[in-house]
Every structure is written in C-alpha cells, then in structure tokens.
C-alpha cells in the first residue's frame, strides 16, 4: 500500500509540475503614463496590457520550463523503474533525487520572484510583482513529489534479513596442537 501510494505521488508530482509550468508564475505591472503588465510563465513572457511588441526584439529569455520538464520526466522514469524489481537501488535513488531536483528548480524560480517583488517595492514603487497560480502549483508539486520519494524508500523492517539461528550457537576454535604459542 505504501509503495503504491508513493508511486502515485511521484506521478502526481510530475503532472502537477508540468501543469504549473504551463500556468503563469508571476505578473509584473508597471504604472507609467501607460500601464504595462507582463505575465511570466516557465516558458515565456507575455504582454497582458500595454504596447505589444512588433518584432522579436522583446523575446523571452525565461526558460524555467526546461529543468521543470526534466525533473517531471525523471519523476515518471523513477515511477516506471520502481515497478520492476531489477532496478531496485537505482530506482530508489532516482525516486529520491528527482523530487530534490524539482525542489531546486522551484526554489530558484521562487527566489527570482521574491527578489523581483522585494526589489520593486524598495526601489520602484510604481512596479508591482505578484505571484500567480503556477508558482503555487509548483510548490504543491514539490511537496507531493517529496512525499512520493519518501514513501517508496525501503524501511529497514522491510529489508530481508538472515533468519535467526535456532538452538545454541557453536564456534569452532583452532586446536592448540596446530598452532605454536609464541612467548
């Protein structure tokens, strides 16, 4: 039961990560003579209000989606490997590492948002940065994936141990005639 719940959590974390990457992560609004508002996803920056760019000179350099997609792919791969016993330790290592990669990517994205929000409030009061749904879904994906990574690990009670010996334990000692004593 625990193992299946962990597999489900790994897959759910991957789906949530991909959904969060497609939704807006945060919005930035600049209150100038004409209001300009941007919406940042894991893949691009979209202009919501204000002048629309005519060419590619306002191309997006935001690519948080690539490591998020890689982490989601590794979560799915870990879930597939865990279904077969022959992958054993490799699958458990992947199930522990992929959620940590996702946490690292989301942590970096969240830090960028916090830095933008903090910097804008201190220096430029006409700029407002606010979180969007995608950022919170990514945080939930991290929690779910971490829970799945923990649930699929083997607990020491589940590890097969050698059977306890029945009866007295006898150790054979070497004969004194075979070994010379050194004085």
pLDDT confidence band for 108 (50 / 70 / 90): very high
pLDDT confidence band for 153 (50 / 70 / 90): confident
Highest mean pLDDT among 102-106, 158-162, 176-180: 102-106
Token pair 């490799």 is found at 90
pLDDT the model gives residue 24 = 92
pLDDT the model gives residue 135 = 94
Model confidence pLDDT, tens digit, residues 53-68:
655 545 556 678 899 9
In the predicted model, what is the mean pLDDT of residues 98-126? 84
Model confidence pLDDT, tens digit, residues 74-106:
999 999 998 887 888 888 899 999 999 999 999
In the predicted model, what is the mean pLDDT of residues 29-47? 79
Say if residue 143's pLDDT is above 60: yes
- DSSP letters, 44-109, are -EEEEESPPPSSGGG-----THHHHHHHHHHHHHHHHHHTSGGGHHHHHHHHHHHHHHHHHHHHHH
Q: In a 3-state reduction of DSSP, which class is residue 122?
A: helix
Q: In a 3-state reduction of DSSP, which class is residue 26?
A: strand
Higher pLDDT, 15 or 85: 15
Within a 10 A sphere around the Cβ of 166, how many other Cβ atoms?
Answer: 6
Angle between helices 88-123 and 2-22 in degrees, nearest 10 = 40
Nearest to 92 by CA among 153, 143, 5: 153
**For 34, which DSSP code?**
S
pLDDT the model gives residue 97 = 93
Q: Quick one: how far is CA 90 from the chain centroid?
A: 17
Q: pLDDT over 70 for what percent of the chain?
A: 81
**Separation CA 155–CA 56 (nearest Å):** 54
Say if residue 141's pLDDT is above 60: yes
pLDDT the model gives residue 154 = 77
Please give the mean pLDDT across all residues of the chain.
83
> What pTM does this model have?
0.76
């Amino acid at each position: 039961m625990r193992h299946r719940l962990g597999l489900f959590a790994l897959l759910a974390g991957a789906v949530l990560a991909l959904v969060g990457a497609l939704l807006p992560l945060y919005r930035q609004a600049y209150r100038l003579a004409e209001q300009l508002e941007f919406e940042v996803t894991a893949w691009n920056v979209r202009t919501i209000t204000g002048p629309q760019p005519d060419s590619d000179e306002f191309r997006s350099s935001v690519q948080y989606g690539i490591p998020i997609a890689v982490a989601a792919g590794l979560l799915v791969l870990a879930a597939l490997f865990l279904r077969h016993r022959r992958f054993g330790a490799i699958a458990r290592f992947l199930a522990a590492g992929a959620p940590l990669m996702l946490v690292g990517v989301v942590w970096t994205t969240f830090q960028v948002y916090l830095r933008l929000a903090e910097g804008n409030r201190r220096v430029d009061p006409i700029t407002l940065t606010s979180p969007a749904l995608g950022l919170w879904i990514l945080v939930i994906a991290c929690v779910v994936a971490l829970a799945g990574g923990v649930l699929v690990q083997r607990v020491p009670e589940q590890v097969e141990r050698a059977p306890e010996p029945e009866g007295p334990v006898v150790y054979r000692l070497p004969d004194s005639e075979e070994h010379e004593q050194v004085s």
